[in-house]
Amino acid sequence: MVLPTPTSLALTLLITSPFQWFTVAGAKTFRIPRFSDSGAALGGTAFVSGTAVVLWKGLFEGLDLTLGALGATLSVLSLALYEWARSTVAGRRFNIALAGEVPDAVCEAGPYRYIRHPFYLSYVIAFLGMLVATATLVAAVVFMFNLALFTYMARDDERTLEGSALGSDYGTYKQRVGFLLLLPRRR
């Protein structure tokens, strides 16, 4: 066991902070149906997995300063995107993942002008920060699992919207805006 340096400890805490923030802020942002099979438990478990990987590496093995700084940068970017998306959807009746519920309208404001799933992308960026900072096989497995999980959740949200009264509007929106990455501007 290597005692972490103050810098390594600070990076460890910074890299884990998005996972905590997503949990706390998400509970205040999204509607969670009472008796449904929502993604709240899955999301919470995912965020715990990212936290655990970073804490283990950071506290027991220490983080490489360069990789830790890159991971911390990605963590800050993930939080910035998350907060941009969160401020955009405030009051729009957005639901927790896998709830099968539909908002009042298709959101095309804020980051939704450029990517269809900014929340899920912010989660993936945080997990990428975890992977870069720790550079372990366990981190790679956790990253791949969570990439698959959040992609599945995004696809489920899309199926729900496509089968709703918003289906036509959402289909038009999908043609213009990329899934998780920016696409060239389309008409």
158 SS3 class? helix
Tens-digit pLDDT profile for residues 62-84: 899 999 999 999 999 999 999 99
Task: Return d(Cα 158, Cα 153) in angstroms, integer.
Answer: 9
Strand partners, 178: 115
Q: Span 168-185, mean pLDDT?
A: 78
Contact (CB, 8 A) for 146 and 46: yes
Local confidence band at 39 (pLDDT 50, 70, 90 cut-offs): low
Tens-digit pLDDT profile for residues 79-104: 999 999 989 988 766 666 665 566 77
pLDDT the model gives residue 148: 94
- Token couple for 99: 């709830």
Output the pTM of the full model. Answer: 0.90
Domains of the chain in start order, with CATH, are: 6-176 (1.20.120)
Q: How far is CA 46 from CA 11, 143, 147, in A?
A: 20, 10, 10
Provide the H-helix boundaries in the chain. 6-29, 40-56, 65-89, 118-134, 137-162, 167-176
Tens-digit pLDDT profile for residues 149-163: 999 988 988 898 888
